[in-house]
């Protein structure tokens, strides 16, 4: 199983190559966007770890080009650009995951494992995370085999959680994803609608992470 590391800073690339190799992965390193586009097409590459600040092409341009070419290889963006709009743009362009620098290496390994897990065939427009299914065409949410009726905003918020399972999402990120709003420290919209989802889907499904935001628990019960 080969991982392609796309990183122009040699010190960071060396750290990643050594750490990933020590954990049993085959690793190839390239330092430019053009080489990334060439090597990511190799069927032996199982996952791409992509920095955005490359010397020739912007990493988002590389990501967009890969997806336009039909490449389905999982892409994990690893970048110092950690602002919400950068992360949202990367995910919208087709990144499978996004981790901001500085990062904990154990978290990077967990994200890699998650993105390398075999994925069951999922119909278009359907998001799945654990026992939760979100049908974006029918606007239906199913948890543990039970279908729930949600308002448009509740549905948008659940979509954000299911699209980032087990990931801690800040209130700012959730406002951006579900309401397309910039951060407003005076609003409690997220807290209110998390409460609505908990009442409908079960208190254990969405966990409060003190000082950070909320996380979808895949082991939560309805």
94 and 147 share one domain: no
Task: Read off the CATH number of the domain in which 22 is found.
Answer: 3.40.50.2300
Asked whether the beta carbons of 134 and 104 are under 8 A apart, the reply is: no
Q: What is the DSSP annotation of 77-98? A: EEES--SHHHHHHHHHTT-SEE
pLDDT of 173:
82
Q: For residues 96 and 11, state if they share a domain.
A: yes
Q: pLDDT (tens digit, 9 = 90+) per residue, 175-204?
A: 887 877 665 656 788 999 999 999 999 888
| pTM greater than 0.85 (yes/no) | no
Whether cis (ω within 30° of 0) applies to the bond prior to 124 is no
108 and 165 belong to one structural domain: no
> What tokens does 124 get?
């278009």
Q: Domain check: are 161 and 111 in the same one?
A: no
Residue 160: the pLDDT is 86
pLDDT band (50, 70, 90) for residue 21: very high
pLDDT in tens, 53-101: 999 999 999 999 988 888 888 999 998 887 777 788 888 888 888 888 8
Whether residues 11 and 75 share a domain: the answer is: yes
28/105 same-domain check: yes
- Residues 109 and 15 grouped into a single domain: yes
Structural domains in the chain (count): 2
Examine the pLDDT at 218 and tell me if it is beyond 80: no
60 and 146 inside one domain: no
Number of other residues whose CB lies within 10 A of the CB of residue 136: 13
Number of helices (H), then strands (E), belonging to the chain: the values are 8, 11
Kindly state whether residues 103 and 142 are assigned to the same domain. Answer: no
Residue 222 in any domain: the answer is no
Whether 48 and 86 map to the same domain: the answer is: yes
Domain assignment of residue 53, yes or no? yes
Asked if residue 121 belongs to a domain, the reply is no
Residue 75 domain flag: yes
Is residue 176 included in any domain, yes or no?
yes
Residue 91 lies in a domain: yes
- Domain range spanning residue 169? 126-216
- CATH number of the domain bearing residue 163: 1.10.10.10
């Amino acid at each position: 199983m080969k991982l392609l590391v796309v990183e122009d800073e040699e010190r960071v690339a060396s750290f990643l190559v050594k750490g990933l190799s020590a954990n049993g992965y085959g690793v190839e390193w390239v330092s430019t966007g053009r080489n990334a586009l060439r090597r990511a097409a190799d069927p032996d590459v199982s996952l791409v770890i992509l920095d955005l600040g490359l010397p020739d092409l912007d990493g988002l341009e590389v990501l967009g080009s890969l997806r336009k070419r039909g490449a389905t290889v999982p892409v994990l963006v690893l970048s110092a650009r950690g602002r919400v709009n950068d992360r949202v743009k990367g995910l919208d362009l087709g990144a499978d995951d996004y981790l901001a620098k500085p990062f904990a290496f154990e978290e990077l390994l967990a994200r890699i494992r998650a993105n390398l897990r075999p994925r069951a065939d999922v119909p278009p427009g359907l998001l799945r995370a654990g026992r939760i299914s979100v049908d974006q065409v029918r606007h239906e949410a199913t948890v543990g085999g039970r279908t729930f009726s949600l308002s448009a905003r509740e549905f948008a918020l659940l979509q954000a959680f299911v699209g980032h399972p087990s990931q801690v999402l800040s209130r700012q990120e959730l406002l951006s994803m579900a309401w397309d709003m910039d951060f407003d420290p005076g609003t409690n919209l997220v807290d209110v609608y998390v409460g609505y989802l908990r009442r409908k889907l079960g208190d254990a499904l969405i966990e409060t992470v003190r000082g950070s935001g909320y996380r979808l628990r895949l082991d939560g019960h309805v």
